[in-house]
Structure 1
Amino acid sequence: MSYTGPGFEPPHPRRSRLRRPLTVAVAALVPGALLGWVVYEAVGGSGGAAVSSSAVRTPAETASRAASSPAAPSPSDDRKVPNPEASATAPASGPLSGKVVVIDPGHNPGNFQHTAEINRTVDIGTGRKECDTTGTSTNDGYIEARFTLDVSRRLRELLQAQGATVELTQDEDRAFGPCIDERARIGNAAKADAVVSVHADGSGAGNRGFHVILPAAVSQGAADTRDIVAPSRELGERIAGSFVRVTGSAPSDYVGNGTGLVTRDDLGGLNLSTVPKVFIECGNMRDSKDAALLTSGAWRQKAAQGISEGIVSFLRG
């Protein structure tokens, strides 16, 4: 079908080289140890303010902050971003000023250590489902949760540059989760104009391509998606179209009949949403050719760009 549709380390302040010569000179000219000491302190104190060791990170420290979880090493170009509450900045002015976008990085790198918590079930309207899962990984151990965080952080930068207010459902700032029902509530509470849940698939080897998952019309229990089905489809179509154009990836050859669009009623993150929302499976981690793309920082930037352009197109109408 037709779719519509981004190492500088600041120098450490130098201690004044004049401290010792001036101290010696003063001590020689002014008799008395006490007076010499006083002058030493006065001269030494003007050498510049000290810099906290936490204010400047070495390259090694910066790299260590981007390290993957022990169970799943990730490529070195994953973007590590501090707690969003500590790094939040006012959105830039731009075409998306006043718009709110929630990005939902699928899974959480910490889920591996909290299987009991993520295995408990929650109500998704059409039934009950696990709070969350660990996600999939490439054959070489690059986990989906690392992939989704990296793409989501890149996507946040791009959307903020357009003026949008952007919120992530998690930014590795919690031990596990959140559960799928809470992920939906975060978007609802933000009154988001668009929500995108970022994933990568774990299908069989040989299956390739991306697909966007749309909410089905559900009205059962706590779920009622009837008002968001149409705008969510438009959001999904625009993302799919821009994803093809920017990444060069083809729509999935194993689901969606070549359209890159799939409708489902069994995902709590969609069923419980009251705002336009879609999932995107950016590729199949279990296929070696797709995995080569997913583990490339350059390609992940393209993926973020493709998703971003689709969101911008949707929000601008």
Structure 2
Amino acid sequence: MSAPSRSALLVLAAAVLAACSTAAPVSGSPTPVSSPAALASPSPATHDTPPPPVPVPPRVVVLDPGHNGGNSRDRATVTAPVPDGRGGTKPCNTTGTQTDSGYTEHAFTWDLAQRVRDKLTAKGITVVMTRDSDTGVGPCVDARGAAGEKADADAVVSLHADGSAPANTGFHVAYADPPLNPAQAGPAHVLSADLRDALRTGGFPVSDYIGRDGLSPRRDLAGLNLSTRPTALVECANMRNAGEAALLSSADGRERYATAIAAGIQTYLAR
């Protein structure tokens, strides 16, 4: 047979090339790329990023240590009338009471307030005091009543000791009644009960001469009437009773009161 012509060889070669261009890739060889988009690097997997946590502002408590060490030196100021919150007036402040041996209520409340403050601040609670020493005058009861609103407080606790007949004993917690605003209508009652329960748990007896079961609704206390924040007033004991006077006069006794009061405030704030 004669050799194929040159033109026949060219036709054969073209057919072979066409067949190769459509054949499936050999196993292990790169997959043909059909478009430039396929050459782009794959996008990394995306994940929803949670928003940062919203910081929680610290709770704020106003502590109101009753009276002041300089009140007896400025009777004109402390006897001046101020609004009582129910359409009448009250004296700006008073000198407070004292034990038969001369330990004053203002000194007791100042020491107690500092102890309660330290326990609360150790828990991250912001504490505002209505007075910064035991040597000044006032503030007046209307200013004390406004202190909670001014500090944007979650709770206000006024600290006192009573001066009753020597045979009377026990603590009581007062709140404004009848209520004059929503804070007084409910939250103040809860705060008062939490303080009462904590003091009772701390081993202190409830009053046997005023109030009921350690709680005392009052309409005559301007600091309670004028408050727009949950407010309670703690009368820790009777300074005229010999046994309770000894407890109030001792550092150990004041520490016990401070522990109980701080616990009651923390229970209320945790609600």
Q: TM-score, normalised by structure 2?
A: 0.77
Aligned: 1:251 with 2:211: no
Q: Report what 2:112 is aligned to.
A: 151
Letter paired with 2:233: F
- Contact 1:217 1:226 survives alignment (8 Å): no
Q: Report what 2:143 is aligned to.
A: 182
Pairing of 1:26-175 with structure 2 (within 5 A): 98-126=58-86, 127-172=88-133, 175=136
CA distance in 1, matches of 2:256, 2:57: 23
CA distance in 1, matches of 2:75, 2:211: 31
Q: Report what 1:27 is aligned to.
A: none
Q: Report what 1:291 is aligned to.
A: 245
Q: Which runs of 5+ in 1 are unaligned?
A: 1-95, 219-223
- Contact 2:173 2:216 survives alignment (8 Å): yes
Q: Report what 2:193 is aligned to.
A: 237
User: Following TM superposition, by how much is the alpha carbon of 1:232 offset from its aligned partner in structure 2, in angstroms?
Assistant: 0.6
Letter paired with 2:251: G
CA distance in 1, matches of 2:178, 2:137: 30
CA distance in 1, matches of 2:201, 2:68: 29
Letter paired with 1:225: N
User: Following TM superposition, by how much is the alpha carbon of 1:228 offset from its aligned partner in structure 2, in angstroms?
Assistant: 2.5
- Contact 1:213 1:263 survives alignment (8 Å): yes
Letter paired with 2:195: I
CA distance in 2, matches of 1:198, 1:260: 15
Letter paired with 2:206: P
Letter paired with 2:104: I
Pairing of 1:175-214 with structure 2 (within 5 A): 175-214=136-175
User: Following TM superposition, by how much is the alpha carbon of 1:187 offset from its aligned partner in structure 2, in angstroms?
Assistant: 1.4
Does the residue aligned with 1:209 lie in a helix, a strand or coil? Answer: coil
- Contact 1:231 1:276 survives alignment (8 Å): yes
Q: Report what 1:62 is aligned to.
A: none
Does the residue aligned with 1:135 lie in a helix, a strand or coil? Answer: coil
Higher Cα radius of gyration = 2
Q: Report what 1:276 is aligned to.
A: 230
User: Measured at CA, do residues 214 and 286 of structure 1 come closer, stay the same or move farther in structure 2, by a change above 3 Å?
Assistant: same
- Contact 2:110 2:134 survives alignment (8 Å): no
- Contact 1:216 1:225 survives alignment (8 Å): no
- Contact 1:97 1:162 survives alignment (8 Å): no
| Amino-acid identity (%) | 44
Q: Report what 1:92 is aligned to.
A: none
- Contact 2:68 2:134 survives alignment (8 Å): no
CA distance in 2, matches of 1:173, 1:211: 24
Q: Report what 1:306 is aligned to.
A: 260
RMSD between superposed Cα atoms in Å = 1.3
Does the residue aligned with 2:186 lie in a helix, a strand or coil? Answer: helix
CA distance in 2, matches of 1:263, 1:108: 25
User: Following TM superposition, by how much is the alpha carbon of 1:199 offset from its aligned partner in structure 2, in angstroms?
Assistant: 0.0
Does the residue aligned with 1:203 lie in a helix, a strand or coil? Answer: coil
CA distance in 1, matches of 2:178, 2:220: 11
- Contact 2:159 2:233 survives alignment (8 Å): yes
User: Following TM superposition, by how much is the alpha carbon of 1:188 offset from its aligned partner in structure 2, in angstroms?
Assistant: 1.1
Q: TM-score, normalised by structure 1?
A: 0.66
How many positions carry a matched residue from both structures?
215
Q: Report what 2:22 is aligned to.
A: none
